Amino acid sequence: MNSTRRHVVWHFSLSSLSAEGTMVKLSLRTAFQAVLAAALLAEGACFFAQQPARPAGAALVARLNRAMALAEQGHEQQALTLAEQLVVEHPDFVPALKLQGALLEEEGRASEAEQVYRKALQLSPNDASLLFKLGTNRLAAGDNTEAASFFVRYLRLTPSDGVAFFYLAQAYHLSGQDDLALKASRHSAELLPGKAEILQEYGQILCATRDRQTGLKKLLKAQQLNPALRKIDFDIALAYYDEMDYSNTVRFASKAVQAEAKDIDALRLLSEAHVELSQWQDAQGVFEKILVLKKDDPPALLGTAHCLLELKQFEKAIAMLHRVLELDPSQAIAHFYMSRALSGLGQMDDARHEAEIYRLMDQMSIAPPTLGSEGGKTQWDRAQQLLREGHEAEALSAFQDGVNAPATSLADAYVLAGSVYLSIDREDAGVRALRHALEINPTVRGAHTYLASDDLQKGRLIEAESEFEAELAVDPNYLTALAGLGEVRYRQERWAEAADLLLKSRTKVPAQLYMLCDALFKSGRGQEADVAAEALAGYAANDRSQMQALVDLLHRQDETALASKIAAMIKPE
């Protein structure tokens, strides 16, 4: 279990709450009936929502009533045909559009229904029920940003709807805006103080952000209101785990497992709490339950091996650790446990070797960022689209104002834009943006490194060396620049310098790790090269060509045994 709180688990379906005057339920049948009920109770032509100023004729209203009556009687297809005829003849008649959308949704044609709802919203942009409906649809589809925008618009019209604030909090949280999620959840709890589900969500967000103790109190209160609340024991256990109260974690996680015996999350939490309490046999038993549900689960295998190690069952621990490394060679901690188990058996040379592999892989745990990773995926994808379409100013604004990134200066934004341009093979534009970033701020991070990377790809070693050194003059510990300069030194055949720089960079990039192995061999550091080779095999296990290149390198160095070991790790095509 990570020391920081895990991603909040949302336990509520969109049908878990209801509120007067809103279409809350996700179930198509229930939503359909809610639409019809609202329509039948409405007066005049405003059956579903506020109708634009143009009055509907009596004949039009009668036809709409006829369609709704057919739908209520179970003749949905005939009702849909009438609704579609109305829409063709009167394309701006919002009640007919809403009925058409509801009937399409009832038939399972969700994408068509969505388009109809959107058309209706264009005609009636302040229609609260449409805004709420589209908000819940987008949230269910995982489009959290647009869902939030619909709920914000809805709440401007109905600011006292606690259910809408509940869903808005979910949308904000799932799009990474926890401050706004907390604010929305607080409003929801204030408006619906007796709702256990609301308190549970509020407690989750408090625990995930800034106030675990208050969050725990809210969760305990939610449990008092409704002891049968789904996942409430898990949430309380997780809150106690974050507070390092492992005894209470075991207490509530055990209750969560009793309620849902196949809940992997609850089982993992229970096992980790037992580990923290050094209750090794109890932890082993829980890990084994996980393995029954999820065979060859690497974390559970690793946890079981750890328990066996602490129980001094060294040979069983070693066998299980070999299985872990077969499944996931990048598990650095497995080498640490392997070292301890081998030491327990008195195999000190092998133990030291495993300890060295762990040390190197642990140093690599902070990997240098890949091209453009400073901006975050959401910004990166959006900016890439904007820059491809020629909207550079908008892309720069997106980098500066993106919801998933901290405040970004204009110089930083130009660096990110430059990196995007380079990634889409627009070298001239990329170089221009990066040079402009340096004009704005000569010490801006990353600009020299991206320029150097471009030079390196083009084989311009002198220019690349100069740019990397300029970056390191500003920040001597910038890992990407260290790795890049190490690659330059490798190509210059300055083996010792290349090895030192690549080691210092903590790179996990397979191509650079290969250079590290080769440079270590060529500078006479064979034992370090062997350790680096095993680390490379861990990170490149899914790259057949890189693994084969490593095997070939080891054979050239007469490291036959290690070459055979790594060759056995190459996965078949």
Q: Which range among 31-40, 64-73, 145-154, 414-423 shows the weakest confidence by mean pLDDT?
A: 31-40
Residues 277-332: tens digit of each pLDDT: 999 999 999 999 999 999 999 999 999 999 999 999 999 999 999 999 988 888 88
Q: What residue has token string 């929502």? A: 49
pLDDT band for 30, please (50, 70, 90 cuts): very low
Domain positions in the chain are 28-188, 225-363, 508-573
What does the block give as tokens for 135? Answer: 């908000």
- Contact between 531 and 514 under an 8 Å Cβ cutoff? The reply is no
Q: Which residue, 306, 317, 349, 331, is CA-closest to 535? A: 331
Write the CA distances from 28 to 25, 60, 78, 502, 540, integer angstroms: 8, 26, 18, 57, 47
Q: Hey, CA dihedral for 306, 307, 312, 318, is it positive or negative?
A: negative
Amino acid at site 402:
G
Among 54-58, 197-201, 209-213, 440-444, the range of highest mean pLDDT: 440-444
What does the block give as tokens for 66? Answer: 């006829």
SS3 350: helix
Maximum alpha-carbon separation in the chain: 94
pLDDT band for 487, please (50, 70, 90 cuts): very high
pLDDT above 60 (res 18): no
pLDDT above 70 (res 406): no
Domains 28-188 and 225-363 alike in fold? yes
pTM over 0.75: no
Instruction: Report the pLDDT value the prediction gives residue 232, as an integer from 0 to 100.
Output: 93
Q: What is the C-alpha to C-alpha distance for residues 19 and 195, in angstroms, rounded to an integer? A: 11
User: What CATH superfamily is the domain 225-363?
Assistant: Tetratricopeptide repeat domain (1.25.40.10)
- Residue predicted with more confidence, 452 or 396: 452
- Contact between 437 and 415 under an 8 Å Cβ cutoff? The reply is yes
Q: Which residue, 343, 295, 352, is CA-closest to 318? A: 343
> With helix as H, strand as E and coil as C, how does 364-415 read?
CCCCCCCCCHHHCHHHHHHHHHHHHCCCHHHHHHHHHHCCCCCCCCHHHHHH
Looking at domain 28-188, its CATH class is mainly alpha
- Tell me the percentage of the chain whose pLDDT exceeds 90: 45
Write the CA distances from 223 to 6, 188, 198, 252, 505, integer angstroms: 21, 17, 11, 11, 49
- Contact between 280 and 311 under an 8 Å Cβ cutoff? The reply is yes
Q: What is the C-alpha to C-alpha distance for residues 492 and 472, in angstroms, rounded to an integer? A: 19
